[in-house]
């Protein structure tokens, strides 16, 4: 067997293993375990942006306790889509866990792993991206919002460009008549993965973590502010979270 054929067979074998059910289950279980261990040690500070634009400490009352958003017909607050940057996803998963929030994940291998991790933390998921099954994912998100769930969207996911919205969250919010809530999150000390397009942030054990919840943007106002303004608002919340932890 020539070296070229040998390398080709090894490559096919690795691909077959990486796509197998047991490998996906093992990898997602390990990722969820690590995330859970790290999350248990984080010192989390919540900040809310009030109606006048000022900031106050404490989780917004509208978030409620675990389970909010799980029940259709729950009218304690309007449905919403939480909007954030893909690179801060690790920090947000444990912060908003067990509320039945619906997250759009990509159809890639990484998206499959992420889907399994999210479901372990009490999220629901729909699969799609800007290139594949995107329309179907938005329809599924609209249905989930209509059923009384909240949604979550990484505005620049799944593949960038970094910190630039693609419009999916706005389309879903306008279609369902719900608001978008800009979210910023940061941690220190944290490791930023250098080889990723989004500079994915992973907190260290016992890190200080800041979650900043912005003022909701009503569906009726989304057409006026545009994507650039939405990006600016998520940037502002993210920058404030960075400032609070000293990054």
pLDDT at 69: 43
Domain range list for the chain = 3-245
Other CB atoms within 10 A of residue 212 CB: 24
196 phi/psi in degrees, rounded to 5: -95, 145
Other CB atoms within 10 A of residue 107 CB: 17
Between helices 134-146 and 168-176, what is the axis angle to 10°?
40
Residue 201: which H helix or E strand, with range? strand 201-213
Contacts of 59 (CB under 8 A, 6+ apart): 46, 48, 211, 213
Q: Give the Å distances, CA to CA, from 190 to 25, 47, 177, 181, 183.
A: 27, 20, 37, 25, 18
Tokens of 154: 């990484």
User: Residue-wise over 168-206: b if at least 16 C-beta within 10 A, else e?
Assistant: bbbbbbeebebbbbbbbbbbbebeeeeeeebebbbbeee
User: In DSSP terms, which residues pair with 181 in a beta bridge?
Assistant: 82
DSSP 78-145: --EEEEE-GGGHHHHHHHTTTS--EEEE-SSHHHHHHHHHHHHTT-EEEE--SSSSHHHHHHHHHHHH
Please report, in tens digits, the pLDDT of each residue of the chain (247 residues total).
566 666 666 556 556 655 677 788 888 999 999 999 999 999 999 999 998 989 999 877 655 443 344 433 334 457 899 999 999 999 999 999 999 999 988 888 888 889 999 999 999 998 876 555 567 777 788 888 888 889 999 998 788 899 999 888 888 888 888 999 999 999 999 999 988 899 999 999 999 999 999 999 999 898 888 899 999 999 999 999 999 999 9
DSSP helix/strand/coil, 203? strand
Assigned CATH class of 3-245: alpha beta
> What is the C-alpha separation between 41 and 85, in angstroms, rounded?
23
């Amino acid at each position: 067997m020539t070296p070229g054929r040998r390398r080709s067979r090894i490559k096919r074998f690795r691909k077959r293993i990486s796509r197998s059910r047991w490998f996906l289950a093992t990898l997602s279980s390990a990722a969820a375990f690590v995330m859970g261990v790290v999350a248990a040690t984080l010192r989390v500070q919540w900040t809310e942006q009030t109606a006048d634009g000022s900031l106050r400490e404490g989780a917004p009352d509208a978030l409620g306790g675990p389970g909010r958003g799980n029940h259709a017909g729950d009218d304690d607050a309007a449905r919403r889509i939480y909007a954030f940057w893909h690179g801060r996803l690790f920090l947000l998963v444990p912060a908003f866990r067990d509320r039945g929030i619906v997250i759009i994940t990509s159809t890639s291998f990484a998206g499959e792993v992420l889907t399994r991790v999210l479901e372990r933390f009490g999220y629901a998921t729909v699969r799609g991206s800007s290139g594949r099954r995107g329309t179907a994912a938005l329809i599924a998100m609209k249905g989930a919002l209509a059923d009384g769930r909240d949604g979550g969207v990484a505005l620049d996911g799944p593949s960038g460009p970094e910190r630039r919205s693609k419009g999916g969250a706005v389309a879903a919010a306008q279609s369902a008549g719900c608001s978008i809530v800009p979210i910023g999150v940061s941690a220190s000390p944290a490791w930023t993965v250098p080889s990723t397009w989004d500079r994915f942030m992973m907190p260290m054990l016992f890190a200080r973590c800041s979650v900043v919840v912005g003022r909701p943007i009503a569906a009726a106002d989304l057409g006026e502010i545009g994507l650039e303004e939405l990006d600016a608002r998520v940037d502002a919340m993210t920058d404030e979270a960075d400032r609070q932890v000293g990054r």
